[in-house]
Amino acid sequence: MSCSCGSRAATTDVYELGKYKTVLEAVESSGSAWTCRNKTASSSPPVPPPKPLLIATPCEAGEYPLLLFLHGYLLSNSFYSQLIQHVASHGFIVIAPQLYSVAGPDSSDEIKATADITNWLSKGLHYLLPPHVQPNLTKLALAGHSRGGKTAFALTLGKATTDLKFSALIGVDPVDGMDKGKQTPPPVLTYVPHSFDLNMAVMIIGSGYGDTKRNPLFPPCAPKGVNHVDFFNECRKPACYFVVKNYGHLDMLDDDTKGIKGKATYCLCKNGESREPMRRFVAGATVAFLQTFLGGDSSHLMALKDGQSGPVDLEVVKFLV
């Protein structure tokens, strides 16, 4: 991986791009062969990744915390390119795997795949990073959107085991099925308040339109009974919870999502007027949360607690401390 290094002008606004220039690299793993965008190799690195990856990383030399970000149901990791580059520009390495192309209701394979990727990080990630960029594997967070949020919670709740320890967990409009009583296997929600025994900080971001149908032909993308409300109800402290007003379940994706799947994202869920504000909020809140629990700087998260929500209006702001 190569990139033109250098820093941007310093900014203290988490909702804007940070001071680091970033590079975005797509890595395809296929048995004994591997390819990186703009380069190929006839033999694999010592330990190729278990799944294709999209990696956003600062160019500047240094050691950076990691965020593993899981895509939503039937979505492509590339749809989150702008989001993960925003987070990376504030000094984080962000890894977004492609867990599957087609999947049924059971997410067990995704949970196992995420565990496999986590266990691979210490063995193979450094081969795919720019020179002089080092991952700090003691500062590792896990995030997921929609069904990816369910998968993230399932992994941290012990549905699979990992060699590395996560220190923070983020659910971006997480969904655990079609309705209460219609959870997809393995179920995550227990409907027992504060039952999640996670031993780490948690942030939940919900969309105000997530539980609203776009039209009679499709169910809501984040149905009541299995959405962000229910996930937060089962969290223990420390935890924070934000619900964004007037935006939908897919409004944190890239402005332009291509292909059949990409076009479908514009018509399946009730959306806001544009994606940029919701995406900037999700990225900024993620940076603020990671700075607090991986970096020891809580100033931006406390500003968010005080109502400084940047590009969006919030319906709900709650903290368990």
Residues known to be catalytic: 146, 173, 249
Chain-centre distance for alpha carbon 179 = 23
Count other Cβ atoms within 10 Å, centred on residue 292.
21
Which residues have C-beta within 8 Å of that of residue 308, sequence separation ≥ 6? none
| Cβ 173 vs Cβ 250: under 8 Å | no
Beta bridge partners of 84: none
Q: Which residue has the tokens 């996930």?
A: 231
Query: Any residues with CB less than 8 A from the CB of 241 and at least 6 apart, and which?
Result: 203, 204, 205, 206, 228, 232, 235, 316, 317, 318, 319
State how far the Cα of 262 lies from the Cα of 75, in Å rounded to an integer. 8
254, two tokens: 């890239």
Report the 10 Å Cβ neighbour count for 178: 15
